[in-house]
């Protein structure tokens, strides 16, 4: 018999006797799977309109040390990116093809690694910044939703020391449950192999619980939102 069948057999044998549901003090109450729409009444509150969600995202970003900039229009992506490159003395950057990146990244005028058709890991490691798009911004948590399809693969948003996200206001969603809706609407059940919520620059508290940014991933996270 295979280990799979042995394990499943033991599980089924074990489950013949029912277990009490937590929080019902021994009497066999019923457990239910709560619809994700219900979560929003328990989790931290989020306003319904875009303006309050942008405010909340900005406030969360400040707490998280995400550098969040609201731009007036998408024409501002290129100059703001160029400014950031100059301030930080970038030598080379990495990015992927996309409506927003294609418009803004060439304007920096630096050697650019594109990940779309594959790349050398060591070459990416040498880049000063990874510039990506994303699938959504999550107001409730200050998170950025990326997938391996929307953000130039798995590593582009984590390997270079500075991650820059280009995003539009229309991509704001209130909470994580709404972010999953975005993923499902885009991909049906053909999910990308990698989906991630990025919430602030990389961090650690492993030494005396003192916060240090840039543990292994980016030390800085900049979001330009138009």
Partner 1 sequence: MNTPVEQFREDATRVAADEQHRRLIQGALGKYYVARDRQVGRFQDWQSARQAAAETKWEAVNHLDQHLVSFAEKLEARGGKVFWANNSAEARDYILKICREKKARCIVKSKAMTAEEIHLNAALEKDGYEVVESDLGEYIVQLRKEAPYHFVFPAMHLSRGDIRELFDREIGNVKSDNPEDLTMVARRVLRKKYCEADIGISGANFAIAETGMISITENEGNARLTTSLPRVHIAVMGIEKVLPRLEDLALFLPMLGTAGAGQAITCYNSMIGGPRQPGECDGPEEFHVVLLDNHRTRLLADPEQRDALHCIRCGACLNVCPIFKNIGGHSYGTTYQGPIGSVITPHFRGLQDWKHLSNASSLCGACTSACPVKIDIHHHLLHNRRNAATQKPRWWEKLAYKIAAGVLNWPEFYAFATAVGRVMQKFHPLVKGSVLDPARAWTKTRELPQVAPQSFRDYWRARERKP
Which of 61, 175, 222, 226 touches partner 1 by CB under 8 A? 175
Positions in 92-111 near partner 1 (CB under 8 A): 96
3-state SS assignment for residue 220: strand
- Bridge partner list, 146: 196
Structure tokens at 113: 């690694």
1: contact with partner 1 by CB under 8 A: no
Distances in whole angstroms, Cα of residue 30 to Cα of each of 21, 25, 135: 6, 12, 37
Q: Which is nearer to partner 1, 93 or 198 (CB)?
A: 198
Provide, rounded to whole angstroms, the least separation between the CB of residue 139 and partner 1.
11
Name which position in 11, 51, 72, 170 contacts partner 1 (CB under 8 A): 11
Q: How far apart are CA 139 and CA 141, in angstroms?
A: 6
Q: What's the closest the beta carbon of residue 219 comes to partner 1, in angstroms? A: 9
Cβ-based nearer residue to partner 1, 8 or 99: 8
> Do residues 125 and 89 touch, judged by C-beta distance below 8 A?
no
Nearer to partner 1, 14 or 51 (CB): 14
SS (H, E, C) 94-129: EECCCHHHHHHHHHHCCCEEECCCCCCHHHHHCCCE
C-beta of residue 212 within 8 angstroms of C-beta of residue 203: yes
Instruction: State in angstroms the smallest separation of the CB of 166 from partner 1.
Output: 18
Site for partner 1, residues 64 to 93, rule: CB under 8 A: none
Find the shortest distance in angstroms from Cβ 122 to partner 1: 6
Task: Determine the Cα–Cα distance for residues 109 and 118; give it in Å rounded to an integer.
Answer: 22
Considering only 77, 201, 223, 226, the residue that binds partner 1 (CB under 8 A) is 201
- 181-200 mask for partner 1 (x: CB under 8 A)? --------x-xxxxxxxxxx
Which of 15, 51, 72, 170 lies at the binding interface for partner 1 (CB under 8 A)?
A: 15
Residue 177 and residue 50: Cα distance in Å, rounded? 17
170 binds partner 1 per the rule CB under 8 A: no
Q: Which of 8, 62, 70, 99 binds partner 1 (CB under 8 A)?
A: 8
| Token pair 């994580």 in the structure block, residue | 176
């Amino acid at each position: 018999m295979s280990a799979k069948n042995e394990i499943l057999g033991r599980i089924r044998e074990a489950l013949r006797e029912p277990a009490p549901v937590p929080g019902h003090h021994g009497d066999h109450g019923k457990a239910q799977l709560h619809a994700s729409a219900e979560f929003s009444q328990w989790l931290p509150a989020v306003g319904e309109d875009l303006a309050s969600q942008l405010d909340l995202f900005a406030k969360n970003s400040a707490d998280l040390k995400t550098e969040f900039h609201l731009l007036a229009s998408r024409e501002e992506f290129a100059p703001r990116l160029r400014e950031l490159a100059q301030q930080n003395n970038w030598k080379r950057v990495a990015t992927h093809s996309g409506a927003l990146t294609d418009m803004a990244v060439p304007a920096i005028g630096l050697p650019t690694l594109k990940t779309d058709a594959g790349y050398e890991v060591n070459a990416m490691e040498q880049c000063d910044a990874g510039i990506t798009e994303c699938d959504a911004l999550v107001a409730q948590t200050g998170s950025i939703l990326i997938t391996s399809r929307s953000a130039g693969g798995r590593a582009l948003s984590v390997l270079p020391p500075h991650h820059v996200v280009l995003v539009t206001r229309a991509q704001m969603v209130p909470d994580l449950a709404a972010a999953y809706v975005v993923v499902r609407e885009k991909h049906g059940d053909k999910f990308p192999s990698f989906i991630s919520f990025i919430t602030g620059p990389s961090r650690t508290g492993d030494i005396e619980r003192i916060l240090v940014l840039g543990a292994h991933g980016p030390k800085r996270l900049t979001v330009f939102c138009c």
